[in-house]
Homo-oligomer: A and B are copies of this chain.
Amino acid sequence: MSLHTRCKMKVEIITIGDEILIGQIIDTNSAWMAAELTQSGFEVTSIQSVGDAARSIIDAIDLAFSRADILLLTGGIGPTNDDITKNTLCRYFDTKLVFSNEVLKNIEKIFAHRNFSLNDLTRNQALVPEKCTVIQNKTGTAPILWFEKEGKVLVSMPGVPFEMKTAMANDIIPRLQSQFRMEDYLRQSALVSGITESALAIRLADFEQGLPKGISLAYLPSYGMIKLRLFARNMDNTDLFQRQAEKLKRLIADLLVSETEKSLEELLGEELQTHNLTISTAESCTGGLVAHKITSVAGASAYFAGSIVSYSNEIKEKFLDVDKDLLDASGAVNEEVVVQMARNCAKLLKTDCSIAISGIAGPAGGSEENPVGTVWICTYYRGESIAKKYNMGNSRRENIERSANMAMLQMLKML
Q: Which residues of A contact B (CB under 8 A)?
A: 17-28, 30-38, 43-52, 56, 60, 63, 78-82, 114, 116, 119-122, 139, 141, 160-162, 165, 196-202, 205, 208, 216-222, 227, 229, 261, 281, 283, 286-292, 294-296, 298-301, 304-312, 314-315, 318-319, 348-350, 361-365, 391, 393-398, 400
Contact = CB atoms under 8 A, between A and B. Distances in A.
Contacts of A48: 46-49
B25 A394 contact: no
Contacts of A300: 287, 311
B292 A289 contact: yes
B197 A78 contact: yes
B28 A26 contact: yes
A57 to B, nearest CB: 11
A201 B80 contact: yes
Contacts of A49: 30, 46-48
This protein's copies in its complex:
2
A309 B311 CA distance: 13
A45 B51 contact: yes
**7 A-B pairs closest in CB distance:** A23-B35, A287-B295, A288-B288, A23-B34, A288-B291, A307-B309, A79-B198
Most buried by B among A216, A298, A318: A298
Nearest to A24: B220
A291 B293 CA distance: 12
A121 B45 contact: no
Contacts of A286: 292, 295
B47 A34 contact: no
Nearest to A18: B218
Contacts of A160: 221
A159 B396 CA distance: 18
Interface of A is mostly: mixed
B23 A33 contact: yes
Contacts of A79: 197-198, 201
Contacts of A310: 306
A236 to B, nearest CB: 22
A412 B187 CA distance: 49
B31 A201 contact: no
11 contacts: A26-B26, A27-B47, A45-B56, A47-B48, A79-B198, A81-B205, A82-B217, A162-B394, A298-B362, A298-B364, A306-B319
Contacts of A34: 20-23
A288 B17 CA distance: 31
B292 A301 contact: no
A343 to B, nearest CB: 17
Contacts of A202: 119-121
Contact of A309 (B201, B288, B396): B288
A136 to B, nearest CB: 16
A23 B50 contact: no
Given A23-B44, A31-B25, A198-B122, A78 B221 contact: yes
Given A82-B218, A312-B301, A121 B201 contact: yes
Nearest to A201: B80
A155 B391 CA distance: 30
Given A19-B218, A120-B202, A298-B362, A311 B319 contact: no
B301 A306 contact: no
A395 B27 contact: no
